[in-house]
Amino acid sequence: MSYPNPLVPGFNPDPSVVRVGDDFYLATSTFEYLPGIPIYHSRDFITWTQVGNVATRVGQLDVETVPTAGGAWAPTIRHRDGLFHLVITDAFGRGTLHFTAERAEGPWSDGVVFDGVDGIDPDLVWDEDGTAYLTFSGLGVNPELPTFMSHRGLLQAKVDLETGRALEQARSIWSGGGGQFPEAPHLYQIGDWWYMVIAEGGTERGHSVNVARSKSPEGPFEPAPGAPLLTARGTDRPIQNTGHGDLVVGPDGDWLLVLLGVRPRSMTRAFSALGRETFVTRVSWENEWPVFEPVQLTPRPGPFEYLDEFDGPLADQWMAVRRLPESIASTEVRPGWLTVRADGSTLSDPIPSFIGRRQQHQTARCTVDIDVAAGVGGIAVRYDERFHYSVVAGAGAVTARACIPGFERVAVLEYSGTELQLELTSRRPEAGSKFGSSASDIVELAAIIEGNRTVLLEVDGRYLSSEVAESFTGRVVGVVALAGEVCVDRFAYAGSDD
């Protein structure tokens, strides 16, 4: 059996997976977006469907005031005695959290904060006696502690899952093989050994997977020979930044590693438009050590399309920034339409009136059929409040805007009507184009009025990439409201990995 790569495309970093019978459940990071922490389900490890989110209520994640790149970092999902467990760090927010649910689809608990744990990328495991161990990367993210933003290697503590209390002082168990930022530990009992799979080298081009083993979950840990065991650094592989892996036994009994990676483009393959995505690779065993195959690019055949006509509640895939979508959007105000309400914010504010979905393909076209009789708004693609492109209508004009730090490009088309189609397209640069070979893609911002398409702006897509924005997220495409209320009849997406 061959598996597609990316396994879960678009902004889906830090994957963790668990097998329950013949079902697989996968969770990824969401940072400042809500609802937080999507849960994907598969039975064949090929087709993945989002079945819910962990953080669907105010208070489960405290992301309203976290800085950009804060929020929900690096979940671990596990299952024990009929209960799903998910541990995660709400960086610069509530801290390290433990959520539970009887069904992966939810509802999930409010989350218990671990007392005495200051770090990121938590892993949860139980020994034969049922003792729970929390293993984590010792990067301090509590600004009230003297360890803030210092790195103390990989730490571990026994914990009481009912109260969230650490039962001992967190102790050092390993610091990796010498790469920077040892993180993302996952601990497994396989045969006679306890294996710890970690990431190190930083989540950029130096990212890698390393492994150590011990006869006890508490160590001491013996590093694998020939480290790192998996990396793309210094290679010409189309998938780079490979790391942050989680082991699982696949549907045909083979061992698999799910992990993050990016698909950079341009002449020097410098820009990753979609950010960090979820990939998979096969694992074999030699001398009781795992051997990871290089991560291969095997995109799904396209094109891929979806259409949302808002005939019911918002789908699980819709997200807002630092607040829940229902705080600004509704499918009930005007049945069959999505109504998004402005609140005086813009896309350059930390909490915009914007809801969106992940861009999943490097070649993509997204359109909205919109009514701006009662406001100003349109379609936008966002990395964060500093990097965003948009085309909006209302108040007698259609306005395209491209914003990066210190620079804004604007084009205006007079238009007195209220109903039209707005379009945002991402495509490869043509040979000899004005953007040359250094762009990851070209983004077109267009309006379609009475069948006539007008491109207002054609902009370089490299600025909306993880390398330029230095964001942990990825491109999110959706609807923005700048004044009054805007109503969307249809949101259409078509993408391919050509």
For the residues 385-412, what does the mean pLDDT come to?
97
What stretch(es) of the chain map to CATH 2.115.10.20?
16-292
For the residues 413-442, what does the mean pLDDT come to?
89
Cα(45)–Cα(84) distance, integer angstroms = 19
Structure tokens at 31: 């940072």
Other residues' Cβ atoms within 10 Å of the Cβ of residue 289: 16
Task: Give pLDDT tens digits for 207-263.
Answer: 999 999 999 999 999 999 998 999 999 999 999 999 999 999 999 999 999 999 999
Mean pLDDT over the full length of the chain:
96
> Looking at 94-98, 165-169, 281-285, 429-433, which range is the least confident one?
429-433
pLDDT band at 165 (very low <50, low <70, confident <90, very high): very high
pLDDT band at 152 (very low <50, low <70, confident <90, very high): confident
For the residues 423-446, what does the mean pLDDT come to?
88
- The answer to whether 369 is a known catalytic residue is no
Task: Give pLDDT tens digits for 37-83.
Answer: 999 999 999 999 999 999 999 999 999 999 999 999 999 999 999 99
The domain at 16-292 falls in which architecture?
Answer: 5 Propeller (2.115)
pLDDT band at 267 (very low <50, low <70, confident <90, very high): confident
Higher pLDDT, 471 or 249: 249
The one catalytic residue in 14, 32, 200, 277 is 14
Fold of 304-496: Jelly Rolls (2.60.120)
Share of the chain above pLDDT 70, in %: 100
Q: What is the DSSP string of 44-77?
A: SSS--EEEEEEE-SBTTB--TTPPTT-EEEEEEE
Cα(17)–Cα(179) distance, integer angstroms = 25
Cα(411)–Cα(455) distance, integer angstroms = 10
Cα distance between the two ends of the chain = 23
For the residues 142-159, what does the mean pLDDT come to?
86
Cα(186)–Cα(111) distance, integer angstroms = 21
Task: Give pLDDT tens digits for 82-138.
Answer: 999 999 999 999 999 999 999 999 999 999 999 989 999 999 999 999 999 999 999
Cα(40)–Cα(21) distance, integer angstroms = 16
What stretch(es) of the chain map to CATH 2.60.120.200?
304-496
Is the pLDDT confidence value at 461 over 90? yes
The one catalytic residue in 62, 121, 123, 183 is 183
Taking Cα atoms as reference points, which of 367, 322, 314, 310 lies closest to residue 495? 367
pLDDT band at 466 (very low <50, low <70, confident <90, very high): very high
pLDDT band at 437 (very low <50, low <70, confident <90, very high): confident
- The answer to whether 14 is a known catalytic residue is yes
Task: Give pLDDT tens digits for 294-318.
Answer: 999 999 988 999 999 999 999 999 9
User: Which residue, chain included where needed, has tokens 């997200």?
Assistant: 319
Torsion angles phi and psi, residue 462, rounded to 5: -60, -25
Is the pLDDT confidence value at 1 over 70? no
Is the pLDDT confidence value at 498 over 80? no
